[in-house]
Amino acid sequence: MSFADILLIGAGLAMDAAAVSMTNGMVYKKLSRFTYVMMPVFFGVFQMLMPILGYYAGGLFASVITRYSGIVIFVILGIIGLKMLKEGIDDLKAHEVCPVKVMTLKVLFLQAVATSIDAFAVGIGFSAAGIGILGPSALIGAVTVLIVIAAIFIGRQFGDMLGCRAEILGGIILIVIGVKALF
């Protein structure tokens, strides 16, 4: 498999993380420097580790993970999205000024897990094809980090334009990604 092929796989795997990061950038206006750094790190590390896990443990858990991955993604992103949607609607009704939302590491962890489950299947595929995993996984993680950084800044721009409505749109985006995972 060529470098370009792995780069494209990394970009494809990073798209859900990019959408979630863009949503985070829209909704969480007052992110600390620590959180700004941790967001691409969490997404990148999980996108790097999941193919490795799939590569080595895929034979044992492949059927279970692939059978239920869509449901797990749907539940995690659906719950976070519904919470954001509800809070966004409540905030829009109750406040003239948008309240400051705080990104927690727990939410970031759940988002990183939910958006990287499909990378597990890529690891299974690499194992079946006899392709080494460490180099490709590192590249997938690095690509994810770069894409997530760009997505956060794009999300910030949209968040500034949308104001209090950003959380509503963010919730809808997460729900849509969750529903998409079911199919």
Q: What is the per-residue pLDDT across 100-122, written as a single tens digit (0 to 9) for each?
A: 778 889 999 999 998 998 888 88
Would you say 137 and 52 are in contact if contact means Cβ atoms under 8 Å apart?
yes
pLDDT by residue (tens digit) across 117-167? Answer: 888 888 888 887 788 999 999 999 999 999 999 999 999 888 878 777 788
| Gap between the Cα atoms of 151 and 112, Å rounded | 14
* pLDDT of 29 above 80: no
| Gap between the Cα atoms of 18 and 41, Å rounded | 13
Can you list the positions of beta strands (E) in the chain? none
* pLDDT of 80 above 80: yes
- Dmax of the chain from CA atoms? 58
Would you say 19 and 154 are in contact if contact means Cβ atoms under 8 Å apart?
no
What's the confidence (pLDDT) of residue 95? Answer: 67
Give percent above pLDDT 90 in the chain.
33
